[in-house]
Structure 1
Amino acid sequence: MGVTMVDMENVERGPLLKRWSEEWLSALAESEPELRLRVGLPAGFRRGPSHAPRHPAVARHPRAHGLGGAAFTLLRQVADLLPGDAAAECGMTVEDAREAIELQQWEMALDLLIEIAEVHPVPLALWGMLSESARQMMLDRSRRRCEWHGWEVRHGTVRTRLTLLGADKGGRRSAFSGDGRLRPLWDIGSRAPDRQREVRIARLWVECVQELGPDETADVRFAPLSPEQWRHLKPGDVITMHEGRPAVGTATVIEVRPPRT
C-alpha cells in the first residue's frame, strides 16, 4: 500500500534504538577470567581502549554464562558448505575462515564467512545458519546483516547510491544508524488512482559504514514493504527519500536483482 505526499505530513518517525556493542566478549573475558577458554580468547588478552563496551550490562548478561558449542558448530558447517575456492572481496578465503575457527577466533570467522557469502550467492538456509550463529554469540548487527541477506534471497535486491541532503537544503540534521531499522518513504515514480504522486515504504541498510549523516553519500540496500511495486526500477533511475516535505535524500539505482527462490 502506498502513501500519498499529503499523507506524509502525518508520518511520525520513531526513535532509533541503540544497539549493544558487538565486542562484548572482550569485556566478559576481562571481568570473568575463568571463561577465557570457553569464549576462545588467549590467556594474555587485555582489552584495549578501542574495545570499551558500549553497554555496562554486557559483561553481566545472563546469556554470557550459557555459551555453548552450537554457534561454533554452525560456523564449521557453513565453512564446509561454501565452495572451496570461495573468497571475500578482501581476498580472504574459506580456508582463512577455517583457520579462525580452529584458533577459536569466532567473531572473525563469522565476519569472514558473511563476507564470502555476500560475494558468492548462497541459499537461504545458509544465511539462516549464519544468523543463528550471530544470535547465539549476541552479535546483533551481524545477525541483522544475515537476516537482511536472507530477505533478499526471497524478495530480490535493490541497491542505490544515496546522498543525504544537509539541513540547509531541508534535509536531516543528524545521522541515522544504517542497520536496517529506519523505514523512510521513497518516491519511486508511482501514482495513485487520482494521479497524485505516491510514495512507498522501505527499510534501508547502509553498506560499509555504521551511520549516514547529512551531506554524506553511501551505497544502501532496500527492503521494500511491497517488493513487487519496485520491480520496474533499473540501474540509472533516480528516486528520492522522504521523512516529510521536502525530500531529505536522492538515490541513484546501481543494481536490481530478482528473488532467488
Structure 2
Amino acid sequence: MPDPANLLLKAARLCSADVRTEFGADVVGYVAHDEWEMALVLLQELGDVQPCPPAFWTLLADVARLLWLESDVVWYEWRRSEASAGAFLAELSLHDGGRATAIPPGRLLRPMWDIGLPTGEFAIAGLWVEGRVALEPGRCARVRLVPLTPEYWGHLVPGDVVTMHETRVAAGSARIVQVVPPVPMAS
C-alpha cells in the first residue's frame, strides 16, 4: 500500500520553487505529524494559485483515495484533466425548455458544444458546475469546461459565447471568462 506521506512530499516537490519555499515547511510539518488531510488541503490551495502539472493532481487523488475522501478524488482527477488538456472557465446560462433537470455541482457531464467550427460540427467538453448549488434550468452559474479535443477549442478567447447541446435543441449558452492553458509535464 502506498504511503500517503511519501505521495504528499512528491506532490510538494512538483510545486514551483518559490511556492515550495514559502509553503514547503508547512506541508513537511503536517506530513511529519501525520496530519495528511491538512497537508492535502494546503497542497490543493497551492494548486489553485499556481499551475501544477498533471502528476501533481494524480498524487493528490491517490492520497485522497487512501484517506477515503471520494469527493476529493473526483475533484483532483478533474483538475488533472484540466492540467493535461487546458480548461475554459465560463458563465453558463441554461435555457428554459432546453434541459428538464438541474445539473448538480461536482458531477461531470460531457455535453456537445457549438464552438463555431468551420465544418459546423459540435465539439465535446466535460462540464463541471462550481459551487455547492445545482444549476437549474433558467439559471446561470460558473462552470469549468475541459475539451475532449483541445485543438478544436484553440480559437476561443474570453468573451466568446459557445452553445451547449444535449439534443438538437440548445440547452444553454456559456460566455468564456478565462482560458487556462495546459500545464507542461514535470521533468
TM interval, short-chain normalised = 0.7 to 0.9
Q: Does 1:254 align with 2:177?
A: yes
Residue deviations 1:123-159, cap 9 Å, x none?
A: 2322221121112222222222222222222222222
Residue deviations 1:198-222, cap 9 Å, x none?
A: 2221111222336322233222221
Deviation at 1:163, TM superposition (A): 1.8
Q: Does 1:209 align with 2:139?
A: no
Match in the other structure for 1:156: 86
Q: Does 1:178 align with 2:109?
A: no
Match in the other structure for 1:188: 115
Match in the other structure for 2:146: 223
Distance 1:202 1:163 in 2: 16
Secondary structure at 2:100 match in 1? coil
Deviation at 1:182, TM superposition (A): 0.9
Q: Aligned to 1:146, which of 76, 79, 85?
A: 76
TM-score normalised by length of structure 2: 0.80
Q: Which has the larger radius of gyration?
A: 1
Q: Does 1:120 align with 2:50?
A: yes
Match in the other structure for 1:135: 65
- Structure 2: 5+ residue stretches without partners: none
Distance 2:39 2:134 in 1: 24
Secondary structure at 2:46 match in 1? helix
Residue deviations 1:80-115, cap 9 Å, x none?
A: 55457649xxxxx55555555455443343233112
Distance 2:52 2:173 in 1: 31
Distance 2:133 2:35 in 1: 23
Q: Would the alpha carbon gap of residues 101 and 182 (structure 1) be closer, same or farther in structure 2, given more than 3 Å must change?
A: same
More RCO (CA 8 Å, sep 6+): 2
Q: Would the alpha carbon gap of residues 218 and 111 (structure 1) be closer, same or farther in structure 2, given more than 3 Å must change?
A: farther
Secondary structure at 1:223 match in 2? strand
Deviation at 1:119, TM superposition (A): 1.0
Distance 1:177 1:107 in 2: 25
Secondary structure at 2:43 match in 1? helix
Secondary structure at 1:129 match in 2? helix
Deviation at 1:244, TM superposition (A): 1.5
Match in the other structure for 2:39: 109
Q: Would the alpha carbon gap of residues 136 and 258 (structure 1) be closer, same or farther in structure 2, given more than 3 Å must change?
A: same
Q: Is the Cα–Cα contact under 8 Å of residues 179 and 210 in structure 1 kept in the other structure?
A: no
Deviation at 1:253, TM superposition (A): 0.5
Q: Is the Cα–Cα contact under 8 Å of residues 163 and 218 in structure 1 kept in the other structure?
A: yes
Deviation at 1:184, TM superposition (A): 1.0
Secondary structure at 1:222 match in 2? strand
Q: Does 1:75 align with 2:8?
A: yes
Secondary structure at 2:155 match in 1? coil
Q: Would the alpha carbon gap of residues 99 and 218 (structure 1) be closer, same or farther in structure 2, given more than 3 Å must change?
A: farther
Amino acid at match of 2:46: I
Amino acid at match of 1:72: A
Q: Would the alpha carbon gap of residues 199 and 69 (structure 1) be closer, same or farther in structure 2, given more than 3 Å must change?
A: closer
Amino acid at match of 2:11: V
TM-score normalised by length of structure 1: 0.60
Match in the other structure for 1:242: 165
Secondary structure at 2:115 match in 1? strand
